Homo-oligomer: A and B are copies of this chain.
Amino acid sequence: MRDLPFGLVRVLDEAGQAVGPWNPRLEADTLREGLRAMLLTRAFDERLFRSHRQGKTSFYMKSTGEEAIGVAQSMMLGREDMCFPTYRVMGWLHARGYPLIDMVNQIFSNANDPLKGRQLPILFSARDYGFYTLSGNVGSRFGHAVGWAMASAYRGDDKIALAYIGEGTTAEGDFHEALTFAAVYRAPAVLCVTNNQWAISSYSGIAGGEETTFAAKAIAYGLPGLRVDGNDFLAVWAATEWAAERARSNLGTTLIELFTYRASGHSTSDDPTKYRPADEAAHWPLGDPVERLKGHMIALGEWDEARHAALIETLDTQVREAVKTGEAVGTLGKSKPSVAEMFEGVFKEPDWRVVEQRRELGI
């Protein structure tokens, strides 16, 4: 087990065949569903990124190149499980059919924003979809997953928690503290490092990635650590299944490094050509996860170029319609929830301070 963190779990080979002991042997429908959700994630990202350029939102972040992760894990895990996301696993929501229009409204901070205008775009919360509340701070929810998982075990439930952290963010104390608690209390959790090789402008070496693998950090806690090809939908699925099974059998936490690549800029505020070769993305070391799954399905005879093109078309239409509907409600600054929402939810019941201040503002 001490060697696992230094290998790389892969299922899809160069020829698009699913090979080796980790092959999860998924149904063709499952593959199609996965591909759909990944393509939807990508289509949504493209369009909403453009909305930002048009001034319709204050901020956006793409998952480009990393879609296999959120999608495979969302599909693999149960509806009662909870994911503690980063901003780069929106595929989780797309795979679970979270309404596009709700996403759009949140991103436009308009009157129908499900988060009531209180949160930066894409820092979603979607309890019913097993998606814990995001925040701008990186890392600080990693330990919540462990507490949540411990609570599930305490209650005798069989729900498990899955958490993400970027490879750059593993340097935070939160990472270490979460793993320590996970190990000591044998929390039914799956803790994932998404190693997309970049943290804004810093390559993974600045987080210690040149000294060893991120999966190897598991050894410090006596936990199993898996290093997985994060651009391989099947490998992500299989590793997650293995770790989830361990968690549900009360064998405790697994640390999974998902080796991937951030193909786009960090966010709408970022210009990656300032710090990395402009063509780096073209040489994705592990290949585009969408292309790889598509190739596999075509090799299986379960997919073809025409259906692929049609699917992209359909998804883009869905996204465009959602965006149009959202725009009709309004975009950043043109529409927003009632200002009263600014004062709600500080506490469960408002205290005199917000009551008075609301009055002062005349609302």
- The verdict on A19 contacting chain B, using a C-beta distance below 8 Å, is no
Contact A173 B184 (CB under 8 A): no
How many A residues face the partner with a CB closer than 8 A?
A: 26
Q: Mark A183-227, 1 if CB is under 8 A from B, else 0.
A: 110000000000000000000011110111000111111110000
| A177 touching B171, Cβ below 8 Å | yes
Query: Please, how many angstroms separate the alpha-carbon atoms of A239 and B212 in the complex?
Result: 23
User: A2 CA to B6 CA in the complex, in Å?
Assistant: 12
Residue on B nearest A205 in the bound complex, by CB: B184
- Nearest residue (CB) in B for A225 is B220
Interface residues of A in 12-48 (CB under 8 A from B): none
B172 engages A184 (CB within 8 Å):
no
Question: Which of A206, A207, A217, A220 is the most central at the interface, judged by chain B CB atoms within 10 Å of its CB?
Answer: A220
Best-surrounded residue of A183, A211, A223 (most CB of chain B within 10 A): A211
Chain B residues near A222 (CB-CB < 8 A) = 208, 210-212, 216
Nearest B residue (CB) for A222: B211
User: At the interface, is chain A mostly helix, strand, loop or mixed?
Assistant: helix
Instruction: Tell which of A206, A207, A217, A218 has the most Cβ of chain B within 10 Å.
Output: A217
A212 lies within 8 A of B221 (CB): yes
- Return the contact of A207 from the options B184, B205, B217 (Cβ within 8 A): B184
Task: Enumerate chain A interface residues (CB-CB to B < 8 A).
Answer: 2, 171-177, 180, 183-184, 205-208, 210-212, 216-223
Contacts of A2 in B (CB 8 A): 2
Q: Is the CB of A173 within 8 A of B183?
A: no
Contact among B211, B221, B223 for A223, CB-based, below 8 A: B211
Chain B residues contacting A207 (CB-CB under 8 Å) are: 180, 184
Q: CA A207 – CA B220 in complex, angstroms?
A: 11
**Cα–Cα, bound, A194→B206 (Å):** 28
Closest chain B residue, CB of each to CB of A213: B222
Residues in B whose Cβ lies below 8 Å from that of A177: 171-173, 176
Q: Smallest Cβ distance from A189 to chain B, in angstroms?
A: 15
- Residue from B205, B217, B221 within 8 A of A208 (CB atoms): B221
Q: Min CB distance, A247 to chain B, in Å?
A: 16
Cα–Cα, bound, A22→B324 (Å): 73
Contact A219 B216 (CB under 8 A): yes
**Told that A172-B177, A173-B177, A180-B208 touch, could you supply 18 new A-B pairs with CB distance under 8 A?**
A171-B176, A173-B173, A173-B174, A175-B176, A183-B208, A183-B211, A184-B207, A184-B211, A208-B222, A210-B222, A211-B222, A211-B223, A212-B220, A212-B221, A212-B222, A217-B220, A219-B220, A220-B220
B221-A219 in contact (CB<8A): no
Q: What residues of chain B lie closer than 8 Å to A210, measured between beta carbons?
A: 222
- A sample of 27 cross-chain residue pairs with beta-carbon separation below 8 angstroms, ordered by A number, consists of A2-B2, A171-B176, A171-B177, A171-B180, A172-B173, A172-B177, A173-B173, A173-B177, A175-B176, A176-B176, A176-B177, A183-B211, A184-B205, A184-B206, A184-B207, A184-B208, A184-B211, A208-B221, A211-B223, A212-B219, A212-B220, A212-B221, A216-B222, A217-B220, A219-B219, A219-B220, A220-B220
